[in-house]
Amino acid sequence: MMIKQYYMIIVAFVTFLFAQEECVDGRYLDNIFDINIETNIQYGENVNETILGSSYNHELFMDIYYPENDIVEERPIIFFMFGGSFVGGSKSSGDIVALCTNYAKMGYVAVAIDYRLSQHLLLFNPNEENAYRAVLKAIHDLKAAIRYFRMNYENNNDYRIDPSRIYAGGVSAGAIAAVNAAYLNNLDEVPSFLLNDINDIGGLEGLSGNDGFDSNFYGIVNLCGAVGDASWIEIDDIPIVSMHGDQDDIVPYDDSLVTLFGLNIQVDGSYIIHETMLDFGNHSDLYTYFGQGHTPFTNMDLETEFSSEFLYEIVCALDFNYLLGDINFDEEINILDVVTLVNFILGVNEPTSIEFQVSDMNEDSNLNVQDIIILINDILGTI
């Protein structure tokens, strides 16, 4: 764990050096770019089974969305994985296209990957072991895609990505794959029924391609996903932003059972993940669609806004230990912060989630004149 903590510190420091100067003029928060899209770029391959169970070599492809006429040399990259219960769906799913489009317009390189599906495992022989195998296949493919970009970075860096700012997420099954790729990171966490042949499928890294390069990533966008066991989460673990309906009967919001395909597998949903992260003092946020079921999305605008505000803090290397009242993040509390707060209260500007946090001086979840009074008194007390 100590090595992991040192590694995260190094990543944060490198990110801080290169990210601060570019986080201006709405970049990573607003749609400020037109975009380019490159489709069907092969990133790997691995064995898979047809729906009838025969093996074949499955070539893996991705679509890459990136800002047009962008001058930043090293940009954050985010991978999005589609939903479909690991038996259907594709990188062309409407919600994934919308997410990648929105993120690329904000300045990210956004990547929609296809990953191997598991119709034969889950439709004809559904059980807990095959469910985990299906998830592992998707995890392996995601890691191969991440390794592809790190390999490209070492060679030409064609897409001008920053390897210290790599993030992953998805919808439903895709979110499950991304979340478990992050938190299932030790062999002693692998369920016992997979231990006999985990090495044959490449361990936790898999055999989907681009060996020798790092597959780590540093933030998760979890849209109606879950983790196999919240006990896999550790102190200083990867930040996660989750959005989930509390009446979800497909992927549990809490620690209920997955019953799809007749399975009865207990997993930990977004609420449990969030509470576990907070218990450790880790960075996490949760949006609950109260009274809603599975994937209660419309056009992905809300999902983009909520998740990107969370990632902004990481992408731009903002310290999670914010100074209350330092609303413009210049490490001073002065009249400029008062002006900013007044504009928030009057509705001239809309605060981001972190701006709201440091503006809420009395921590009552509202911005009003009481916050202004407290802020002014704090300033006067330092003069």
Residues 313-323 pLDDT 10s: 999 986 555 67
Q: d(Cα 293, Cα 343) in Å, to the nearest integer?
A: 37
User: Residue 97: enclosing H or E segment and its boundaries?
Assistant: helix 94-106
Is the Cβ–Cβ distance between 273 and 222 less than 8 Å?
yes
State the pLDDT at residue 33.
97
State the pLDDT at residue 330.
74
Q: What is the pLDDT of residues 191-206, one digit of tens each?
A: 999 998 899 999 999 9
Residues 6+ apart with CB under 8 A from 278: 284
Q: What is the pLDDT of residues 130-148, one digit of tens each?
A: 999 999 999 999 999 999 9
Q: Does residue 355 register a pLDDT over 90?
A: no
φ and ψ at residue 163, rounded to 5 degrees? -65, -10
DSSP 236: T
- pTM of the model as a whole: 0.80
Domains of the chain: 2-315 (3.40.50.1820), 335-381 (no CATH)
Half-sphere exposure of 285 (CA within 13 A, CB side): 19
